[in-house]
Structure 1
Amino acid sequence: MAKKLVIKVTAGADAPERCSQAFTVAAVAAASGVEVSLWLTGESSWFALPGRAAEFELPHAAPLPELIDGILAGGTITVCSQCAARRGIEEKDLIEGARIAGAQVFVSEIMPEGVQALVY
């Protein structure tokens, strides 16, 4: 089993099934004891803002706020720095436990042996 799982979600409300799948996989992995790093890019960046995840709805899917809580309990949530800048999102705007970081941090997370990376 991987020591760490890095997931990059590129979809938000514009592709709800793909978005929900990424959050679900991240939350299940975290609940299983895997160290998880979830990266929010593109439209998924909005879900790092307070209240935005509660607006997301997808039939037969776990509520996004619950998935986020599960992810943060066993991992990290990072918003892409360029994606944040394009949307006017600053570190002070984020939910507790989330951060903004760039590509160099992403690369450093996916390069060590034993790390598995998924992109949704």
Structure 2
Amino acid sequence: MRLSAAVAALVIAGAGLGLRAVAAGDLAEYGGDALYTLLIVALVVLVAPRVTAQRAGALALAFSWGVEFLQLSGVPAELSRHSTAARLVLGSTFHAPDLFWYAVGALAGGLAVAARRAGRRRR
């Protein structure tokens, strides 16, 4: 499962960066939000391969929401001014609709993990 999670993380990161490079507006913003949380799901599974699909999705959602609410403090905005990595990971400003799109990414990630595991059990 770790190899699958590592490959998924690389593909998702590439898709997120690619989406931001070729798209604009709501598609880039909200698609990027969902992919961000999907990436966190993959990283959770990479670090803890025995985690349940539901828990991986819940942890990724909690992390994403935590980062979004942290933006209310101004700390991510300050860090983002000095670091591209911080800007990519932490963002800079709170935007309430992002919370929904993080949930979409967490749900998609949880379902993908569950489907991958179900497919492996059938073999």
- The alignment's TM-score, normalised by the length of structure 1, stands at 0.32
Give the structure, 1 or 2, with the largest relative contact order (CA under 8 Å, sep 6 or more).
1
Of Structure 1 and Structure 2, the greater helix share is in 2
Of Structure 1 and Structure 2, the greater strand share is in 1
- The alignment's TM-score, normalised by the length of structure 2, stands at 0.31
